[in-house]
Amino acid sequence: MILSDSVPKHVALIPDGNRRWAARYQKDAPFGHRKGCDIILDIVEAASDINIEYMTLYIFSTENWKRSKLEIDALMELLKHYLQRETPRMIEKGVKLSTIGVLESLPEDVKAVIEESKAKTAHCKKINLILALNYGGRSEICRAFSKIHREIEKGRLTIKDITEDTVGHYLDTADWPEPDLLIRTSGEMRISNYLLWQLSYSEFYYTDTLWPDFTPDHFYSAIDDYQKRERRLGGP
């Protein structure tokens, strides 16, 4: 049973297993990715229904550029068409779209659709959906350090000013609280260069369920498990 007074404020997700799901049905990888996209807003709505405020999904990593051009092109087209199709539903359900990562490397038409969807949902207040696109935790930390270095060169910061809070301020996620819970599907037990700084005190939940088979009931099972844990955050 979900306890309304102790739901996580922010849930991070690694929606893994699309390609293995497709292989199970003797289909190509894009088939699995399309099915995986179809359930995203179902899970976001399930989170919103229990008053989770933020959900961050690892959609395309800096390492994903190593995949075949055919699969990358299919992923980019899928992202574009997904946002075009689902933005009206996001508005209806109060889902505000945000992103982290380096969008500059994405195709121009994809970037345009992302920015359009972000603008159209900017007024939404029910839940914030944050997509990690061309994102890597190490890249993010390096970019934060570069920003801090430039601030020092301009005289806006000194070495003594650099604290954990300072670093956090220059990360992509500066506008949001750190995740309380990380969920990874498909049975893999690693974080894959995802939110390396932000997950320091997050609870981790792993499930063997492949992402296209992940349902709101699976999601609520993760929340139920989270609520049974004692979070001491380094304290006694």
Name the residues annotated as catalytic. Answer: 16, 64
Residues 64, 177: Cα–Cα separation, whole Å:
26
Q: How far does Cα 36 stand from its chain's mean position? A: 14
| Long-range contacts of 36-41, Cβ-Cβ distance < 8 Å, separation of 24 or more | 36/211, 36/212, 37/78, 37/82, 38/212, 39/211, 39/212, 39/214, 39/215, 40/15, 40/82, 40/86, 41/86, 41/89, 41/90, 41/93, 41/95
Q: Smallest Cα–Cα separation from 103: which of 115, 87, 117?
A: 115
> Around Cβ 210, how many Cβ atoms within 10 Å?
22
